[in-house]
Chains A and B, each alone.
Chain A
């Protein structure tokens, strides 16, 4: 069964303290791996799509990487406005999406 596991569930960082979020997945056939940001009371906001192992994408302080079994979202020198829940999802070759439960990130000034 296709599934996504994210760790840690919650992460507290001091402003400027870099860290990584993990997304491990099992999927029958990977069409894409996605990272979304979700603020409280809002819908998920698209960040990145990764398609194949070795691929990397960057946006401001965020960098996403992909291997055959997992993806990492690296956060460099985070700011308080980066506080949110970060969701990982995989799309299989049947075009169905499976989301993880997310990592709740809090960045303390």
Chain B
């Protein structure tokens, strides 16, 4: 049973560029949440997708956007990259929008130069 898979594992971009990160949820899960984890910090909630809609959003600017596809996979897009966007981006899946047990992928390490 495949767990949560994320791609790519590492990415290097320059300021002002745009980036797309991808996530496939654990089999049987229909909800995807995205988190940003800066070095030495805990994960911070970006947003949650359920039934192809953004259901909840954390305190992140509109430069951060996402999408969920009919097969429940998801993308995170970040526009106009800033140096401060450098972090580990984690995808977590669960069953149902209110389900509390999150399963995390290994993340995408984004470096903005």
Chain A residues with a Cβ under 8 A of chain B = 4, 31-32, 34, 36, 41-46, 49, 87, 89, 91, 94-102
Contact = CB atoms under 8 A, between A and B. Distances in A.
Given A4-B42, A89-B42, A97-B45, A42 B106 contact: yes
Contact of B42 (A31, A32, A45, A100): A100
Interface of B: 4, 33, 35, 40-45, 48, 56, 58, 90, 92, 97-98, 100-107, 109
B103 A46 contact: yes
A44 B90 contact: yes
A102 B40 CA distance: 8
A43 B33 CA distance: 13
Contact of A31 (B33, B43, B100, B104): B100
Contacts, number: 56
Contacts of A98: 45
Contacts of A49: 100-101
Contacts of A36: 104
Nearest to A44: B104
Contacts of A87: 42-43
A95 B4 contact: no
A39 B88 CA distance: 13
Contacts of A46: 101-103
Contact of B100 (A45, A91, A99, A101): A91
B56 A95 contact: yes
Nearest to B104: A43
Nearest to B102: A46
B43 A44 contact: yes
Contacts of B4: 43
Contacts of B98: 95
Nearest to A101: B42
Contacts of B33: 97
Contacts of A97: 33, 43, 45, 102
A45 B102 CA distance: 9
Given A43-B104, A43-B106, A45-B104, A95 B97 contact: yes
